[in-house]
Amino acid sequence: MEEKNKSTDLRDPESRVIDGWPTWLEIRRGILVLIFILAPAVILSSYLPAWIQSYHITGEALWGLKRKGVPDEVIQPMLKMRGPTYFFKSSLLAEVEKKIPADQFKKHRIRIERSLTAIPVENSRYFFLPILVIFYGIVWWFIRPYEARGWF
């Protein structure tokens, strides 16, 4: 008889009945998983390939600028810059800004920026995993002291 009472004792963790409602600790853990685990994975997988690209100027893009009414004093210097590729879009824009008159660059900046062509780096998706591992290592390093206190 004592065995029967022992198995239905609510203080015993093995005999607790789950009623379907999560506890505050489980809710907190779920929110932390969303913030620290899932959100960085989604953000990095979405935006990292766009960050790892090279940029250059193509003849087709210059022809598109010509059709949109951009003057030749903007297109001619850009025509001479068609060869090299730049890792950052901002560095290519800075180079274009040096070669074009300032007033024309300010007037056509949006069109020029849209005409720059991105060259995706092959296998750039493999950069995602090491960056994610580093991020999770940093999260683990900061969470370690609080885990022993039962916060997670």
Please count the CA atoms within 13 angstroms of the CA of 100 that sit on its side-chain side: 27
Residues 142 and 152 in one domain: yes
Tell me if 15 is assigned to some domain: no
What is each CA distance from 128 to 26, 120, 125, in whole angstroms? 29, 14, 5
Q: Is residue 14 part of a domain?
A: no
Q: Which two tokens stand for residue 143?
A: 């969470």
Assigned token pair, 116: 């720059």
Dig out the tokens for 8 from the structure: 């239905």
Q: What is the reported pLDDT for 115?
A: 85
Task: Say whether both 78 and 42 belong to one domain.
Answer: no
* pLDDT tens for each residue of the chain, 152 residues long: 455 444 455 555 554 555 678 788 788 888 888 888 888 888 877 777 777 788 888 888 888 888 988 888 888 888 888 878 888 788 888 898 998 888 988 998 888 888 888 877 777 667 777 888 888 888 888 888 777 776 65
Which range of residues forms the domain containing residue 151? 24-52+124-152
Same domain, 74 and 108: yes
- pLDDT at position 152: 59
